[in-house]
Amino acid sequence: MTVKVGYRRPLPVLASDRSHWAERALCRGYDPELFFPHASALADLAKSVCARCPVRRQCADYALTTGQEFGVWGGMSEEERRREIRVRNRAAALKAVAT
Ligand code: SF4
């Protein structure tokens, strides 16, 4: 299934910063709706794009640190990001108690 239709997903990039990771985002040029899916099958399709993306790690870090609530970012669904944040918060709390 090809969904590349020429739309550009709004990604965090300054107009003057051509070295920003978002400039290399594979989802640029794909229909943004693919990355804000209403069905899990579409989420899987978005994740398949992310799986080939050269800036997946940067994208995931951005989404996690800025609290992106909706859509697929860095190959993670909304629920997967919430789970990852819970894991990170738990690890940070345990580290704080241990010190
Ligand atoms: S990891 Fe996915 S959402 Fe993030 S920039 Fe790459 S293709 Fe886009």
Q: What is the pLDDT of residue 3?
A: 41
Q: What is the pLDDT of residues 25-41, one digit of tens each?
A: 999 889 888 999 888 88
Two tokens at 81? 């990001």
Where do the structural domains in the chain lie, given as residue ranges? Answer: 21-98
Q: Note the pTM of the prediction, 2 decimals.
A: 0.82
Q: Which residue from 33, 41, 32, 80 is spatially nearest to 60, judged by alpha carbons? A: 80
Give the position, in ligand 1's atom list, of the atom nearest the Cα of 28: 8
Q: Distance between CA 74 and CA 64 in Å, rounded? A: 9
The percent of residues above 70 in pLDDT, for the chain, comes to 84
Contact 47, 75 (CB under 8 A): yes
Would you say the CB of residue 26 lies under 6 angstroms from ligand 1?
yes
Residue entry with tokens 């800025």: 66
Question: Can you list the residues of the chain whose pLDDT is less than 50?
Answer: 1-8
Residue entry with tokens 């669904």: 77
Q: Distance between CA 3 and CA 8 in Å, rounded? A: 12
The DSSP call for residue 21 is G
Identify the residue whose C-alpha is closest to ligand 1 atom 2.
50
